[in-house]
Amino acid sequence: MLTKEEISPEMANELFQDQEKVLQFLADVKWKDGFVCRKCGNINYCEGKTKASRRCTRCKTDESATAHTLFHNCKFPMNKAFYIAYTLCVQGKVISSYELANALELNQMTCWKFRKRIQDCLVRHGNPEDRKHVPLETILIVEEIL
């Protein structure tokens, strides 16, 4: 299980700068126990069409690193989404959507909706006031589509 301590501030800063590194990080966390195709159950895969995706060798279904995660259908840069998740979950900061919007140069409503998605995940998987007891994997890799 990935703990919050395993993401050092230095590593987080590196991830904040590069969208591809965030995707690779998510893929590593998502498939740390190995790939299993959601469609046919096959465990063999090859590189998918997009960065950090995996393609089933049996049914040819592609699955992105963000599919079925907190970042599913995220329409803004992944490194900015990761910054929001890291700030709220790992650092435990209470930060407004206006502050996030200013810091990340995003629309305030975009930040509000993504922050709400994270808060809903915290409510479903633990106590939103005590983020220390919610494993980081639970926050990043949510099995249902949000």
- Judged against a pLDDT cut of 70, whether residue 22 lies above it is answered with yes
pLDDT confidence of residue 126: 65
Percent of the chain with pLDDT over 70: 79
Q: Average pLDDT over the chain, rounded to whole?
A: 82
Please, which pLDDT band fits residue 92 given cuts at 50, 70 and 90?
Answer: confident
For the segment 59-82, the average pLDDT, to the nearest whole number, is 92
Asked whether the beta carbons of 61 and 75 are under 8 A apart, the reply is no
User: What does the block give as tokens for 75?
Assistant: 């329409």
DSSP 75: -
Tell me: the pLDDT tens digits for 108-134?
A: 999 999 999 988 887 777 655 555 555
In the numeric block, the tokens 């790939």 are attached to 35
pLDDT confidence of residue 4: 45
Asked whether the beta carbons of 15 and 22 are under 8 A apart, the reply is yes
For the segment 12-22, the average pLDDT, to the nearest whole number, is 82
* Residue type, position 121, single letter: C
- Judged against a pLDDT cut of 60, whether residue 96 lies above it is answered with yes
User: What is the C-alpha to C-alpha distance for residues 138 and 146, in angstroms, rounded to an integer?
Assistant: 13
